[in-house]
Structure 1
Amino acid sequence: MKHLALLAALSLAPTHAFAETSIGMADFTYDAAHHGKPVSSVIWYPSNDGGTVIRAAENAVFYGVDARQDGLLSDGGKLPVVVLSHGLGGNWRSLAWLAEDLAGQGALVISINHPASSTFDFDMAEGLKHWTRARDMSRALDKLMDDPTFSGRIDTSRIMAAGFSYGGWTALSLGGVKGNLAGEAAECEAQGEASTHCSDLKKAGISFGDLDADMWNASYKDQRITHVAAIDPALHHGFTKANVADLTADTLMIGLGEGKDRLVATDFDASGFVEILPDAKVVRIVPAYHFSLLPLCKPAGAAILKEENDDPVCTDPAGAKRADIHAEVASAISTQLGL
């Protein structure tokens, strides 16, 4: 998508000290043999002391959040865990508002930058190997459980895989849903230019037929996952009950928009995916559209994007309030986790 290059440049903007906060954040980079290089991630957690208060994930288009860089983990009992996966071409900043909200309610949140499918490390062909993203999430849990600062505070009965768009699929995969490569290929054949996802693949010269069906359709379930929250997830076409037979996690599906405001590639109602998840809680937010999940935009954000001939990701449907959409998403997830 066009806006990735602009956001990459803007994301280099410096941070500054702001008001006090009860949220801590720290680097959470870890080795990943399946990539042959480290995975850059950030952990968010309750913190009332120490560190340096900064404004994180802010740039000329989007507002950021306040956090204590390297703050001390607050005293207390066990904390639920959320491993958070961004969309295709996104990065940890894309969902910083959600991580900050959940950490403020008492969760440990790991925001992952997926190699090959993030803003600063993007390769469409490699990024489509969705199983590497699931492995990123599992490795993050490995590191967390070995970390002396956090390991003793983990509530193993509340470990959530959560994600947006492609990250929504990553969360579902980690929860036990198996992919259907033939179903995705058929969807792109049927939708053509109507699906931006399929159109982007075509422009990149990539076909689902070139991918490894055995790897695509295999299980990447992590038995430690007890909850899944998938926000406007992708890659769920042509599924049957067999694809979801191993999904035992408490599952939340969140859909954004309706009608022309619903993104074709992530419409789990149109694909029939939600129909084979009878035990899932389903939340549909209207009015909204897919990119309403991005951070709150600054007053000049839409104009900057227009000037750069970029995607209008700051323009929500008539009547939509992005702050309210964010609040509804955060509330649904926190309720699911019992925060």
Structure 2
Amino acid sequence: MKRIILASLCCLSSASMAAIGIAEDNYQDNERHRLIETKLFYPTKTTASETIFAENIAFYGFKAAKSAPPKGGDFPLYILVHGTSGNWKNLSWLGSELAENGAFVVSANHPSYTTGQATPESVLRMWDQPRDVSFLVDQILSSDYAQYVDKDNITVIGYSLGGYTALALAGAEFDIRGYQKYCNQYNDASCDYFSNAFSDLSPQERLMISGDYRDKRITNVVAIAPGYVPAILPKSLDTLSAKTVIVGGELDKTIPPKLQIIPYINTSLSNLSYKEIKGASHFSFMQVCKPQAIEILAKEGAAFVCQETGNVDRSSIHQRLLEVLSPLKSKI
């Protein structure tokens, strides 16, 4: 996304006391030459002063104590994964909610998919995002943070492109020809984005897309408005290794559930369920927008990020998603 959406972190001092700590770490994957900028949210002592994070003139943020030590332990580990041209802030509203309820949350910017870096060509080469998540799990479980987390309770929540990543980590496998076939039949927003990129894929890259990126350490995945579902190999859903929930937005025009999700999944499987959020469009799952956001973003051609398709309040959509996640939250 553009300048406003990915404006630099805004930090405003406050005299109130924090229940969430936040740490900033960069993890270097030398094997794949990727530097992954990462934020970690977690419960902390209530004596630390708060700062506002992930806020700018268009979006509201959340309060946390920078570099405060974690308090407690045996926290379920949540990895939040952003979508195309997104960043760690997009699901920060959810991360802060989870941390307030006793989870250890990891959210990162994924190189070549994040703000200012994503192109149709780079996003179509999507295999590095699930590998990033497995790498981050490696880093957390081998670091000082490991003493605070329950390594047997790991959940990945991905949005849009990140939804693909969540499914891939559960064991879903993909053949991009299925998505091309879908795009030859329908001309929705996601297909339009990739229309000139399919022909650039090499045979080796198509094999990489079809790879197995399952991570058996992950116990639950939630795929919110996931990308590439028409490319899923149906048999791979029979052997998912994580409890999987796919969430669709009723009014999503980018990834319409009736076209891109429901026809391609078997909801009778024991490890897979589908939930649809009434009134939600594709961007409803991002941060809550400030009153002036649409006017500000319109100047950059990005007003759609804050425009709801239905007559709904974004906070109400978030609440409905939290209700879908409540069985997971009950384990916190």
**1:247 Cα shift?**
0.9
**Aligned residue number for residue 125 of structure 1:** 121
Q: 1:158 to 1:56 in 2, by over 3 A?
A: same
Alpha-carbon distance in structure 1 between the residues aligned to 2:197 and 2:63: 40
Alpha-carbon distance in structure 1 between the residues aligned to 2:67 and 2:231: 45
Could you list the per-position Cα deviations for residues 100-156 of structure 1 after superposition, in whole angstroms to 9, with x for gaps in the alignment? 0111111111102110000043343233222100110001001100111x2122212
**Aligned residue number for residue 317 of structure 2:** 325
**Aligned residue number for residue 160 of structure 1:** 155
Q: 1:51 to 1:269 in 2, by over 3 A?
A: farther
Q: Please state whether the residue corresponding to 2:223 is helix, strand or coil.
A: strand
**Aligned residue number for residue 167 of structure 2:** 172
**Aligned residue number for residue 242 of structure 1:** 235
**1:276 Cα shift?**
5.3
Q: Please state whether the residue corresponding to 2:89 is helix, strand or coil.
A: helix
Query: How many aligned positions are there?
Result: 326
Is there any run of 5+ residues in structure 1 with no aligned partner, and where? none
Alpha-carbon distance in structure 2 between the residues aligned to 1:112 and 1:46: 18
Alpha-carbon distance in structure 2 between the residues aligned to 1:318 and 1:122: 28
In the TM superposition, what are the counterparts of 1:93-172 in structure 2 within 5 Å?
A: 93-148=89-144, 150-172=145-167
Q: Quick check: 2:13–2:50 contact (8 Å CA) kept in 1?
A: yes
Cα RMSD of the aligned pairs, angstroms, is 2.1
**1:287 Cα shift?**
1.0
**Aligned residue number for residue 285 of structure 1:** 277
Q: Please state whether the residue corresponding to 1:118 is helix, strand or coil.
A: coil
**Aligned residue number for residue 91 of structure 1:** 87
**1:312 Cα shift?**
2.0
Alpha-carbon distance in structure 1 between the residues aligned to 2:53 and 2:315: 18
**Aligned residue number for residue 63 of structure 2:** 66
Q: Quick check: 1:235–1:265 contact (8 Å CA) kept in 2?
A: no
Q: Quick check: 2:238–2:269 contact (8 Å CA) kept in 1?
A: no
**Aligned residue number for residue 31 of structure 1:** 28
Q: Please state whether the residue corresponding to 1:93 is helix, strand or coil.
A: coil
* Matched residue type, 2:156: A
**Aligned residue number for residue 210 of structure 1:** 201
Could you list the per-position Cα deviations for residues 23-47 of structure 1 after superposition, in whole angstroms to 9, with x for gaps in the alignment? 1111132112354131111111111
Q: Does 1:273 align with 2:269?
A: no
Q: 1:85 to 1:238 in 2, by over 3 A?
A: closer
Q: Quick check: 1:233–1:266 contact (8 Å CA) kept in 2?
A: no
**Aligned residue number for residue 22 of structure 1:** 19
Q: Quick check: 2:52–2:63 contact (8 Å CA) kept in 1?
A: yes
Q: Please state whether the residue corresponding to 1:53 is helix, strand or coil.
A: strand
* Matched residue type, 1:39: I
* Matched residue type, 1:40: E
Which has the larger share of strand? 2
**1:181 Cα shift?**
1.1
Q: Please state whether the residue corresponding to 1:30 is helix, strand or coil.
A: strand
**Aligned residue number for residue 201 of structure 1:** 194
**Aligned residue number for residue 189 of structure 1:** 184
**1:94 Cα shift?**
0.8
Q: Quick check: 2:255–2:282 contact (8 Å CA) kept in 1?
A: no
* Matched residue type, 1:99: G
TM-score normalised by structure 2 residue count: 0.91
Q: 1:317 to 1:126 in 2, by over 3 A?
A: closer
* Matched residue type, 2:162: G
**1:179 Cα shift?**
1.0
Q: 1:44 to 1:324 in 2, by over 3 A?
A: same
TM-score normalised by structure 1 residue count: 0.89
